[in-house]
Structure 1
Amino acid sequence: MEQQLEEIRDQQKASWDKFSPGWKKWDELMMDFLKPMGDEIIQLLQPKATDVVLDIAAGTGEPGLSIATKVTNGKVIITDLSEDMLAIARENAMLRGITNIETQACDVCELPFADNTFDAISCRFGFMFFPDMLLAAKEMARVLKPGGRIATAVWNGPEKNFWVTATMGTINRNMELPPPPPGAPGMFRCAQDGLITDLFQQAGLKNIKQTEVTGKLNSKTTDEYWNVMTEVAAPIVAALSKADEAMKAKIKKEVYEAVNQRYPDGNVQIDSSALVIYGEK
């Protein structure tokens, strides 16, 4: 792997390790938020009882743990760059009495598995952050059995994801942040219609289809929304760390105004939209 891509990967590993306490704290809320996308992935993969499934970039364990409850005579290998996130996944498995999982910290661009190993692969909100997305897609295809199924979720455009833009948009209006290089990892990197479909085709997958799935971040209050975003969203925390106290206060005030204007009744359930892409080997 090129040195630049290795550096991106190492930065991401450090970032996810750092934010694992926030993800653990807000796990119930975030897993509820992301559940519709995981449900769609599972619906498309149709896991069979004896399947061996790979869940990539699984973080605290979903949708791999839910898949494990369906492959009762099979198993799920849950992977992530961050060992700290996988520790939470193992804890979640233990709490739910799920025993047919293994966890492995690894890089999607260098999967430590033999060719034709898995019946199905899930990857919920990983592609946007992979340094080399085509290499990642090819690696997934390599370890998938002939006839195997793969499904991934990526975020749709910013105009359909106020849960991100309410805060990031306010930060960008107030701070002179350097724009990321074209194609750099980021939330909306895969929002372009057909981008993942094209990657799947280049990786040799077939019967590819794409669907839109919506969800809601049910934070209930603006306070809780702000706390979640400043404890689990790495780009937001990184940007705010460069602001002085006066600027942080201004940004927080404007975010609150934007959210309260959108949800005047105080019931903060923020819409989201993702694209789920399916393919077969």
Structure 2
Amino acid sequence: MYSSAPRFVQGHSRTTGLRCSHRETAMIKFVKCDCGFIVRSDNEDVLVAGLQKHARDHHHMDFSREQVRAMAQVEPDRTTPVPTNADRLRPRFVHNEEQAMATAQTAATFDVAKYKQTTRAQWQDAAHAWNAWGTFLRRWLGPASEIMLDMAGVGPGARVLDVAAGAGDQTLQIAARLGAHGRVLATDIAPAILEFAAANARAAGFRNVETRAMDGEELDVPPASFDAVVSRVGLIYFPDKQRALAGMKRALKPGGRVAAIVYSTPERNGFFSVPVSIIRRRANLPSPLPGQPGPFSLGAPGVLEAALRQAGFRDVQVRAVAAPLEMESTEECLRFERESFGALHQMLSSLDESARTAAWQEIAAALRQFESGGRFVGPCELLVAAGTR
């Protein structure tokens, strides 16, 4: 089971003491979490309280004051001279990773239930808006979805499991391929969004679509009962991806295919990474830990392929697909993200109304770099992967 317990690392030697940025002669204590979050204070109570809040809000873990003290003993370096301004911009830290990780893992584990509760609530709230953008979603993600279905071998008469199906746009693409003798089961953690998937299938005249609310890591389906299992931009948000993939493999018939679409790297997905980076900075949020759920958690080179192979799939293939967001304007893209990207609102929840407004204004200004010739073209690169049971 994946554990994302943070590692708190102290700065305590001549070469690593971090100086206060606003008092030329003062020393300041600091503790750095390995996700990038830093607490600075010359008061131990402030340090401990800051680390407790960080672990609770962003790692879904509760630490006692004693656990935090044990994990993050801080001693300021009082012998090193005050650095230059340039030095101040390049703080360095000491990492005793093995000791810190061992302490953290014994102190707490990732609160999977809380994370999933939050995720379910986000998509319950965003279900109507996400469905309302269905025409755009088909134009944007439809071509990559067809590639995914090709790689999964989805054709007439097949039985297909669609995991994290959302409002079911790709479910309709599956249903169109299956004919009268095929079946697709669309699952999602949020019942509200599946209601739209079922309604959309009925409106399109498909009788080969079934929906069922289900956790993607707890696939309650008969073993070896599907010819293909697919997931469009869903696997990235599972806290235990190996557990999810194991369930998909168990659901497949021998020789069946699994296929998934994920985002590649932040650098190639500016439409999403730009807002995320601005919100993280303004809300003082850390970068995700390696392996933690998130939009780019499987996007680095080799990571998605390795995950499939680790789960026991063979004949693994990964293909990069350009999928730029082509919209009328920056304002339309901003409206799309504000209405249907629940995770962004969750990240902004610690800010007051004026701070949230300022964040969206900065995001709008930053996204305008992607306007050209009177149109908005937001960079997006997807990875489409498939493997055989």
TM range (shorter): over 0.9
Q: 2:249 aligns with which of 138, 141, 145?
A: 141
Report 1:215-234 matches (<5 A): 215-234=323-342
Alignment-derived partner of residue 19 in structure 1:
126
Report 1:176-191 matches (<5 A): 176-191=284-299
- 1:81 maps onto 2:176 in alignment: no
Mapped to 1, the partners of 2:215 and 2:352 lie a distance apart of 36
Contact 1:29 1:218 in 2 (8 A): no
Report 1:85-234 matches (<5 A): 85-234=193-342
Mapped to 2, the partners of 1:181 and 1:257 lie a distance apart of 28
Which AA in structure 2 matches 1:12?
Answer: T
- 1:247 maps onto 2:355 in alignment: yes
- 1:6 maps onto 2:113 in alignment: yes
Which AA in structure 2 matches 1:258?
Answer: A
Q: 1:69 aligns with which of 176, 182, 191?
A: 176
TM-score of the superposition, structure 2-length normalised?
0.68
The CA deviation string for residues 139-183 of structure 1, in whole angstroms up to 9 with x for no partner, is 100110001111101110010001102322222343312444442
Mapped to 2, the partners of 1:257 and 1:192 lie a distance apart of 27
Alignment-derived partner of residue 39 in structure 1:
146
Q: Which has the higher helix share?
A: 1
Q: Residues 14 and 257 of structure 1: is their aligned pair in 2 closer, same or farther, counting only changes over 3 Å? A: closer
Contact 2:137 2:169 in 1 (8 A): no
Q: Residues 269 and 278 of structure 1: is their aligned pair in 2 closer, same or farther, counting only changes over 3 Å? A: same
Contact 2:280 2:286 in 1 (8 A): no
The CA deviation string for residues 209-244 of structure 1, in whole angstroms up to 9 with x for no partner, is 110011122221121111111111122112333323
Q: Residues 13 and 207 of structure 1: is their aligned pair in 2 closer, same or farther, counting only changes over 3 Å? A: same
Shift of 1:3: 7.7
Where structure 1 has 5 or more consecutive residues not aligned to the other structure, the ranges are: none
Structure whose alpha-carbon radius of gyration is higher: 2
- The SS at the match of 2:324 is strand
Where structure 2 has 5 or more consecutive residues not aligned to the other structure, the ranges are: 2-108
The CA deviation string for residues 111-149 of structure 1, in whole angstroms up to 9 with x for no partner, is 111111001111111111112100111110011000111
Tell me the matched-pair count. 281
TM-score of the superposition, structure 1-length normalised?
0.93
Mapped to 1, the partners of 2:110 and 2:372 lie a distance apart of 49
Contact 1:206 1:279 in 2 (8 A): yes
Mapped to 1, the partners of 2:242 and 2:261 lie a distance apart of 15
Q: 1:60 aligns with which of 157, 167, 173?
A: 167
Shift of 1:194: 1.9
Alignment-derived partner of residue 365 in structure 2:
257
Shift of 1:4: 2.2
Per chain length, whose mean CA-contact separation is higher, i.e. which structure has more relative contact order (CA < 8 Å, sep 6+)?
A: 1
Contact 1:162 1:272 in 2 (8 A): yes
Q: 2:156 aligns with which of 38, 49, 70?
A: 49
Contact 2:323 2:380 in 1 (8 A): yes
Q: Residues 248 and 278 of structure 1: is their aligned pair in 2 closer, same or farther, counting only changes over 3 Å? A: same
Deviates more, 1:152-161 or 1:258-267: 258-267
Contact 1:38 1:62 in 2 (8 A): no
Deviates more, 1:28-37 or 1:109-118: 28-37
Mapped to 1, the partners of 2:163 and 2:124 lie a distance apart of 16
> Aligned Cα RMSD in Å?
1.8
Deviates more, 1:136-145 or 1:47-56: 47-56
Shift of 1:200: 1.6
- The SS at the match of 1:69 is helix
Mapped to 2, the partners of 1:3 and 1:251 lie a distance apart of 29
Mapped to 2, the partners of 1:242 and 1:3 lie a distance apart of 21
- The SS at the match of 1:236 is helix
- The SS at the match of 1:279 is strand
Give runs of ≥4 in structure 1 deviating > 4 Å.
none
Contact 1:222 1:266 in 2 (8 A): no
Mapped to 2, the partners of 1:157 and 1:226 lie a distance apart of 21
- The SS at the match of 1:183 is coil
Shift of 1:264: 4.2
